[in-house]
Amino acid sequence: MTELELIIDLHKNSERQGPGSEKETLKALEVMSLPNDRKLKVADIGCGSGGQTITLAQNINGQITAIDLFPEFLDELNDKSEKLGLKEKIKTLEKSMDDLPFNNENFDIIWSEGAIYNVGFENGIKKWKDYLKVGGYLAVSEITWLTNSRPKDIEDFWTQEYPEIDIASNKIKVLENNGYSLVGYFYLRQDSWIENYYKPMEARFENFLERNNNSELAKKVVEENNAEIELHRKYKEYYSYGFYIARKN
């Protein structure tokens, strides 16, 4: 297996592929004033196995297109939505988020939890804006500094991983400069990282290594994730995922 295949293998059969929670998905949804006289069209971009997609389908009157690059995650989402009787509300689409086949002004809501970094925040919000109706909502979570300065260790780690990491006020400025008005911001609580993401991942390490014959590459994947978890334990006060909810002007 390649490293990418191993990463997918590690994240398979898990509730979520990134930090988040049902409570916070609902919190982001609550700040939107949504019309209730018609069915809404929603895109969930980088949906993974659909932790948040299911919550959206259960709480929005409308149709959700859930997009991810990897069929492994979409298959899991399809199984879940079938079991929950949500098959009619959730359609999956295997596509890259930088090459989406949508018409302009097609969606009432574009949702993306922990995934826009794959194309970059500014690039993503610019590209996806075309697909949103005027007055439609964008809800994205994105790694964000919580303080204006921080220890060098953690600054270096995240700047190297994702150079666009910034404080919320600068991210909000990027939204405003690109034709959105902010309607809400909060950042994910620590439980959403630790209880919902890191602990379940740690619990999968042993089986993951076993089924991949303790290969050097599989060990490397575990080591890298362990290093990230360790840094989070040490520096969690300095960063989180910011949840940005904005409206297209």
User: Residue type for 160, please?
Assistant: Q
Instruction: From 13-21, 84-92, 167-175, 210-218, give the range in contact with ligand SAM by CB under 6 A.
Output: 13-21
Sorted by sequence, the CB contacts under 8 Å of residue 132 that are 6+ apart come out as 105, 106, 107, 108, 110, 138, 248
Q: Does 142 bind ligand SAM (CB under 6 A)?
A: no
**Count of beta carbons in the 10 Å neighbourhood of residue 34:** 15
Q: Is residue 137 within the footprint of ligand SAM (CB under 6 A)? A: no
Beta strand 90-94 pairing with 180-187: unpaired
Task: Tell me if 226 contacts ligand SAM by CB under 6 A.
Answer: no
Q: How far is the CB of 63 from ligand SAM (least distance, A)?
A: 18
Cβ proximity to ligand SAM: between 40 and 116 the closer is 116
What is the nearest approach in angstroms of ligand SAM to the Cβ of residue 192? 10
Contacts of ligand SAM in 26-45 (CB under 6 A): none
**Should residue 16 be labelled a site residue for ligand SAM when binding is judged by CB under 6 A?**
yes
Q: Which of 24, 113, 142, 164 binds ligand SAM (CB under 6 A)?
A: 113
Residue nearest to ligand SAM (CB): 48
The binder of ligand SAM chosen from 51, 124, 136, 242 (CB under 6 A): 51
- Would you count residue 69 as binding ligand SAM (CB under 6 A)? yes
Dist. CA 157–CA 31, nearest whole Å: 33
- CB nearer to ligand SAM: give 70 or 185: 70
Q: How far is the CB of 207 from ligand SAM (least distance, A)?
A: 20
Q: Does 46 bind ligand SAM (CB under 6 A)?
A: yes
**Residue 138 binds ligand SAM (CB under 6 A):** no
Q: How many residues bind ligand SAM (CB under 6 A)?
A: 20
CB of 234 to ligand SAM, least distance (A): 21
Closest CB to ligand SAM among residues 37, 201? 201
Q: Please state the φ and ψ torsions of residue 231, each to the nearest 5 degrees.
A: -65, -35
Smallest distance, ligand SAM to C-beta of residue 35, A: 25
Binding region for ligand SAM (CB under 6 A): 16-18, 20, 46-48, 51-52, 67-70, 73, 96-97, 113-115, 118
